[in-house]
Amino acid sequence: MTSKGIKPKIETQGMDISVDCVVFGFDNDQLKVLLIEQKQPIDTSIKTQKAVPGDLVMDNESLDEAAARILKELTSLKGIYLKQFFAFGDPNRVRGLKDQQWLRTFRVNPERRVLTVGYYSLVKLSEFKPKAANFAGNAYWVDVYNIPSLAFDHNEIVHKALLMLRHELMADHIGFELLPEKFTLSQLQKLYEIILDKKLDKRNFRKNILRTETLTPLKEKQQGVLHKPAQLFKRKLK
């Protein structure tokens, strides 16, 4: 039944939805991202690839539920706050030759179009030790500025997540929680420099960060340094 002036109904073949999780890990002087190595299929002629942890969303599962489940199934990590950041919908994003070979081993409908919803997170590197399971043959942290070629469109997904992280850092001043409770402005500047991947001018950085009014200066100074201990700051509670 169609009404006059209405285009014919669109008939789609049916698609799949997946989630992919970009987990950034920070410590004092490096920013890493969590990758898996796909498990080797029994057919050893099929090449495995590196990827961010991701899988299909089940029929009755919400996106947030799927993200938490999949990250845990593949890397054993749990209790990580994952935030949705972008939907990647290129019709051919899983149709590369290597991708299709691997999918034919692990998916019932490998040829289906898959839209993936990207999630990301920023955690303290030292607090999360990944351990591979399910179809992950390995799970490990890799320097975010030295990422190898990844499966599907995962290089693009990591890149977009990094841009989002930088935007949140500049706009919302996230990232304090990666520092000790009391920190110096030098520590904070270093965190910004590593995530933004550029040197910042010390005077401008201090001026700009102080006028965001997100920091409380403390009367305490750094302990255990030989010369000119720096002032400590805390994040201001809103």
Contact positions toward a copy of itself, by CB under 8 A?
1, 3, 5-7, 9-17, 39-43, 55-63, 73, 84, 86-87, 89-91, 105-109, 112-113, 115, 117, 133-135, 167, 171-172, 211
Round to whole Å and give the CA distance between 47 and 136: 14
Please say whether the beta carbons of 121 and 83 come within 8 A: yes
Report the residue number, 115 or 215, with the smaller CB distance to a copy of itself: 115
Round to whole Å and give the CA distance between 105 and 103: 5
Q: Shortest approach of a copy of itself to residue 83 CB, angstroms?
A: 11
Report the residue number, 3 or 45, with the smaller CB distance to a copy of itself: 3
At residue 224, φ and ψ (nearest 5 deg) are 75, 20
Report the residue number, 132 or 142, with the smaller CB distance to a copy of itself: 132
How many CA atoms within 13 Å lie on the side-chain side of 60?
Answer: 0
Q: Shortest approach of a copy of itself to residue 134 CB, angstroms?
A: 6
DSSP 6: -
Here the tokens at position 86 are 């972008």
| Cβ neighbours around 36 below 10 Å, total | 27
| 232: helix, strand or coil | strand
Q: Shortest approach of a copy of itself to residue 117 CB, angstroms?
A: 5
Report the residue number, 20 or 184, with the smaller CB distance to a copy of itself: 20
Report the residue number, 68 or 232, with the smaller CB distance to a copy of itself: 68
Q: Shortest approach of a copy of itself to residue 172 CB, angstroms?
A: 7
Nearby residues of 146 by Cβ (< 8 Å), 6 or more positions away:
none
Please say whether the beta carbons of 109 and 118 come within 8 A: no
Q: Shortest approach of a copy of itself to residue 141 CB, angstroms?
A: 22
| 205: helix, strand or coil | helix
Report the residue number, 12 or 45, with the smaller CB distance to a copy of itself: 12
Q: Shortest approach of a copy of itself to residue 90 CB, angstroms?
A: 6
